[in-house]
Amino acid sequence: MTNISHIVIVGGGSAGWLSAGIIAAKLKQSVASGFTVTLIESNTIASVGVGEGTWPTMRSTLKNMGISETEFIKQCDVSFKQGAKFARWRTGKQDDYYYHPLVLPQGFEQLDLVPHWQASDSPLSFSEMVCPQESLCEQGLAPKLITTPEYRAVANYAYHMDAGKFATFLQQHCVENLDVHHIVDDVVGVNKTDSGDISSLATAKHGQIKGDLFIDCTGFKALLIGEHLNVPFVSCNETLFVDQALAIQVPYQQENSAIASHTISTAQSAGWIWDIGLPTRRGVGHVYSSRHVGEDHAYQQLMQYLSGQVDKPESLDVKKIPIEAGHRAQFWKNNCVAIGLSAGFLEPLEASALLLIEISAQMVVDQLPTNRQVMDIVAKRYNETFTYRWARIIDFLKLHYCLSERTDNPFWIEHRDPSTMSERLQEQLMLWKHQFPSDADFESALEIFPAASYQYVLYGMGFRTHQNPLGRSQQSIDRAQMAFKKNIAETQQMSNVLQSNRDLLEKIYKYGLQTI
């Protein structure tokens, strides 16, 4: 019986180094010995080099790897992210926007504020009325103070960062502190046993690299899972239509320009533009459906977006990235697991790709099969878990589109066609017309987007649920009033003490955050 002790990762993008760090950190903390983690990366095949928005989970991921938050902030051009602002998604008009913040509505566990917000006819948006984060973002405020220790928050937060610097930073930490064996070479062949397992990888300069478990982090190439294990790619381009990205790095006009505390996603005629503010530059890109808009027009829309914000936007280098929404039919086959873009791709509307990498690597190491005999059982469970998770992310991304009232391009109209949605999403939308979305709709422990996320998007997009008098008692009305008041007080309190994103980052460069 072969024990599983040698793990070989191919690929040195965010997926490879995050997986290496998550797995090696856990193995290092364990009392068991004899494990090795090897990462092979090519220095001739480029990484995709984008992927700059994260989830709050990245804080615990980095902390568990033993990384100093201050060092991460200093070395990876990091800024704080407190959610996403979706502009022009509903009507397409100039003043049309809503937020998906990173905090739960006030008292969410005990009380559902949606019926009370809806009954109030307040001019405030749902997110403004139930949490402070929309206001903090609109004011450009950071989510913590210089006295708040590393990884702790005043308001929940994630990060924006430079993807290239992040991979280099993780590489250094993994090699120097977590004993990851790093090989810079091209994998040129895959050797398999009669059962179809990978026995070793042939490299151009380092000979054969043997392993017990192989992790494919080779990006869109999917060298092991796709090319060698022939696991099919399941496209979902009939649900999510965007298939091209144009990415640009945009300099600030002034060194001390404000840094947005949130990702800005602005809908276009057949896609959307992301805008991520880092301390030294912005990362901006247009993801669009080439079936609905030509490349020239998509480029012009990007230039139009940047005009007035930057001199000569047409002089900036544009990186064109073809994309296809979908994922592998299996993520773990034989003794090979695909993590990152090799496992699949969904448009970065909710920055779910890095999250998927974090939770995939975590599950691999948490459930690491002790020997080959039990590996297929773990693989089956892993595949069920991630098939469910990918399907739920697809539904949640689709939700942003199918509620739109835009008619300016068939792109939006086709998105509302029920035949482009999963049956589950259609059913939920029907149900939510008559009852408010709640945790009861998201019972699985594997849920990635909770009911609160659905509430922010649904009601941000103008969805209405028929009032059900059964849902509101006098007691719940009183408690909701208290929650709304509490929110006003907390928003005021936080607004008084928090500094701007840039001011806090500058203090961190100077003094560092207190370690815990």
Ligand X SMILES: Cc1cc2nc3c(=O)[nH]c(=O)nc-3n(C[C@H](O)[C@H](O)[C@H](O)COP(=O)(O)OP(=O)(O)OC[C@H]3O[C@@H](n4cnc5c(N)ncnc54)[C@H](O)[C@@H]3O)c2cc1C
Site residues (vs ligand X, CB under 6 A): 10-16, 40-42, 45, 47-48, 50-53, 163, 186-187, 217-219, 221, 223, 245, 247, 285, 321, 323, 340-342, 348, 351, 353-354
Q: Which residues are catalytically annotated?
A: 81
Taking CB atoms, the residue at the shortest distance from ligand X is: 13
Establish whether 53 is an annotated binding residue: no
> Least Å distance between CB 104 and ligand X?
21
> Least Å distance between CB 18 and ligand X?
8
User: What element of type H or E holds 297?
Assistant: helix 295-306
Establish whether 340 is an annotated binding residue: no
Q: Which residue, 190 or 513, is less far from ligand X as judged by CB?
A: 190
For residue 107, what are its two tokens? Answer: 């008292």
Q: Which residue, 288 or 454, is less far from ligand X as judged by CB?
A: 288
User: What element of type H or E holds 114?
Assistant: helix 114-120
For residue 19, what are its two tokens? Answer: 């997986």
Establish whether 470 is an annotated binding residue: no
Q: Which residue, 126 or 159, is less far from ligand X as judged by CB?
A: 159
Q: Which residue, 10 or 174, is less far from ligand X as judged by CB?
A: 10
* C-beta of residue 343 within 8 angstroms of C-beta of residue 331: yes
**3-state secondary structure (DSSP) of residue 160:** strand
> Least Å distance between CB 185 and ligand X?
7
For residue 483, what are its two tokens? Answer: 């929650």
Please tell me the total number of residues recorded for the chain in this structure. Answer: 516
Q: Which residue, 45 or 318, is less far from ligand X as judged by CB?
A: 45
For residue 330, what are its two tokens? Answer: 């299996």
Bridging pattern class, strands 332-333 and 336-338: antiparallel
| Cross-sheet strand order for the sheet of 187-192 | 187-192, 198-203, 208-210
Establish whether 12 is an annotated binding residue: yes
Torsion of CA 486, 491, 492, 495, to 10 degrees: 160
Q: Which residue, 130 or 302, is less far from ligand X as judged by CB?
A: 302
Q: What are phi and psi of 239, to 5 degrees?
A: -105, -45
Number of H-type helices and E-type strands within the chain: 15, 21
> Least Å distance between CB 347 and ligand X?
8
Nearest to 174 by CA among 28, 375, 380: 28
Establish whether 15 is an annotated binding residue: yes
> Least Å distance between CB 411 and ligand X?
18
> Least Å distance between CB 444 and ligand X?
22
- Cα(502)–Cα(278) distance, rounded to whole angstroms? 9
Nearest to 117 by CA among 464, 402, 474: 464
- Cα(207)–Cα(191) distance, rounded to whole angstroms? 12
Establish whether 207 is an annotated binding residue: no
Question: Using N-to-C axis directions, what is the helix angle for 57-64 and 352-366, rounded to 10°?
Answer: 40
- Cα(448)–Cα(396) distance, rounded to whole angstroms? 10
Q: Which residue, 338 or 494, is less far from ligand X as judged by CB?
A: 338
> Least Å distance between CB 84 and ligand X?
10
- Cα(248)–Cα(451) distance, rounded to whole angstroms? 34
Instruction: Transcribe 189-256 into DSSP letters.
Output: EEEE-TTS-EEEEEESSS-EEE-SEEEE--GGG-IIIIIIT-PPEEE-TTTS---EEEEEEEE-SSTT
Check residue 371 and report its DSSP letter.
B
**3-state secondary structure (DSSP) of residue 63:** helix
Q: Which residue, 87 or 421, is less far from ligand X as judged by CB?
A: 87
> Least Å distance between CB 327 and ligand X?
12
Establish whether 223 is an annotated binding residue: no
Establish whether 79 is an annotated binding residue: no
Q: Which residues are annotated as a binding site for 7-chloro-L-tryptophan?
A: 81
Q: Which residues are annotated as a binding site for FAD?
A: 12-15, 187, 341, 350
Q: Which residues are annotated as a binding site?
A: 12-15, 81, 187, 341, 350
